[in-house]
Amino acid sequence: MIDWGPLILTAKLALVTTIILLAISIPLAYWLAFSKSRMKPIVETLVSMPLVLPPTVLGFYLLMAFSPGNSFGAWLQDWFGIRLIFSFSGLVIGSMMYSLPFMVNPIQSGLAGLPNSLAEASYVLGKSKMKTLFSVLLPNIKPSLLTGVVLAFAHTIGEFGVVLMIGGNIPEKTKVVSIAIYDEVEALNYTQANTYSIILFIIAFMVLLSVYMINGGYLKKFWK
């Protein structure tokens, strides 16, 4: 019988990460899409860094920063009683950074792709920027939002390096599926590893298939 713990933990991690990430990415993507600030290229680069950096680099620096032996980690522990290494909250923060570009980039290009006159028409009708964002802009980029959500979710399920660096391998706390597979292979339990792998394979396939179907317009009728 397989241990469902890692699967449930992975699903929980991906869900929490995606929800918080969505809330953070909407204002960030809005700023990136419309700002004319000189800082913009730098912020864009930072957002996209996880696409090219090995996850171990990110994990290593997070480990350093969060470690109670370090001033920032010590401050977190002393003031808030939070310890981010080898804990679920640490994993969530790591995953959010790691999956950030997958959420921000689709939303940003969706917003930038809307005609300017749409937002302007709303301002001329006396509506604030906030009202315009939520009533006019976001409802018209639903496919981009969905792409961001699905990709961030899927990417979090598939992460390994960051989790291993800052989370370790604690059952029920930080042992997600990708770690569990590695663990089973190390212990020569190929059947177990295979079960986990097939489940991940199927999930990844379904998730990406749904993104391509949405972007290809096959599911358009459900979004109108």
Partner 1 sequence: MIKAHIYKTLRSAAGKMELDIELNIQKGQFVTLYGPSGAGKTSTLRIIAGLLTPDKGQISVGDTTWFDKEQKINSPTQQRKIGYVFQDYALFPNMSVRKNLEYALEKKQDKNIIDELISIVELEELQNRKPETLSGGQQQRVALARALVRQPEVLLLDEPLSALDINMRSKLQDYILKVHKAYHLTTILVSHDIGEIIKMSDMIYDLKDGRIQKVGEPMSIFTNNQLSGKFQFVGDVIAISKQDVFYIVTVLIGQSVVKVVAQEKEIVNLKIGDKVIVASKAFNPVLQKIEK
Task: Give contact residues for partner 1 (rule: CB under 8 A).
Answer: 115, 117-118, 120-128, 135-136, 139-140, 224
Q: How far is the CB of 96 from partner 1 (least distance, A)?
A: 29
Written as six digits, the tokens of 114 are: 């809307």
The residue (of 54 and 139) whose beta carbon lies closer to partner 1 is: 139
Which string of DSSP letters, residue by residue, matches 122-155?
HHHTT--HHHHIIIIIGGGGHHHHHHHHHHHHHH
In the chain, what are the helix, strand and coil shares in percent, each to the nearest 5?
A: 80, 0, 20
Distance of CA 201 to the CA centre of its chain: 19
The residue (of 87 and 132) whose beta carbon lies closer to partner 1 is: 132
Q: How far is the CB of 118 from partner 1 (least distance, A)?
A: 6
Q: How far is the CB of 6 from partner 1 (least distance, A)?
A: 40
The residue (of 119 and 163) whose beta carbon lies closer to partner 1 is: 119
Q: How far is the CB of 141 from partner 1 (least distance, A)?
A: 10
Place of tokens 């469902």: 4
The residue (of 120 and 172) whose beta carbon lies closer to partner 1 is: 120
Alpha-carbon torsion (62, 68, 71, 72), positive or negative = positive
